[in-house]
Amino acid sequence: MATQVPAIKVLLLPKDNALGTIFGGAIPSHIDLASAVEARKVTEAEVVLVAVGPDEAPVPIRP
């Protein structure tokens, strides 16, 4: 079985948020970046992330 290695490593920090939680758009932004890194491994063509399944956080996400 192949070893899986993270494409990117990101430290999520609360940005300008007095509650100390991660803004909702921060996580999808990192998902988009990671998908672009992985797509580049298999093609040099332009790729676009069209959609992702529902991404709900039942509780606030704290770093």
Taking only the tens place, the pLDDT of each residue in 39-57 is 888 998 998 888 877 777 7
Distance CA 32, CA 55 (A): 13
Distance CA 13, CA 63 (A): 6
Taking only the tens place, the pLDDT of each residue in 18-33 is 777 777 777 888 888 8
pLDDT in the model for residue 55:
72
pLDDT band at 61 (very low <50, low <70, confident <90, very high): confident
Stated pTM of the model = 0.62
CA distances from 27 to 10, 24, 43, 45, 57 (A): 10, 6, 24, 25, 11
